[in-house]
Amino acid sequence: KLKTYTSLPSDPRYKQLADEILKSLKPGFKNNPLAQMYAISFWLGKNGYYSLKSDHSSTDDPTASFLFGNRTGYCVHFAHAASFLARSLGIPSRVGAGYAVSTKRRDRGENLALMERDAHAWPEVYIEPYGWVIVDVPIQNYLDPPISEPSMSMQNTLGQIAKSGKK
């Protein structure tokens, strides 16, 4: 059942890099799949650069282009890199996708405007007996300028329009 989630490109660099990353783990954690995934995730967050302007889609292996190239990309690149590194260690992994909205926008009223920039991808690993566990990459390096949050009045207006069915 989980075989689909352990396949990866034949490029040996995934396993070589994963093994290198795991050298930072204390001996008691070296065989713990969740600790291994956290080590991978933190390493990517520290050594990668987030930018929406980076595109690796024109290459044969966009993940390899990101991971073994300039390590500049966005959430999809980080999520796939983490997933392939985990798979190289035999840890079942997949990429989840949906929306991630800042906490500033979530607890202010009954309406929330989801925007294109809220789209997000993250890595998940299968850990017995828990099932799928999200281990998102905590990115530390941002090359793009911060994007301002939409105003609450705009979110409320859009929410009221959506509720009323008006176009």
Tokens linked to 29: 């954690």
Sign of the C-alpha dihedral, residues 40, 50, 61, 124? positive
Tens of pLDDT along 28-76? Answer: 999 999 999 999 999 999 999 999 988 798 888 999 999 999 999 999 9
CA 159 to CA 167: how far, in whole Å? 12
Tokens linked to 138: 């905590």
Mean pLDDT score of the chain: 88
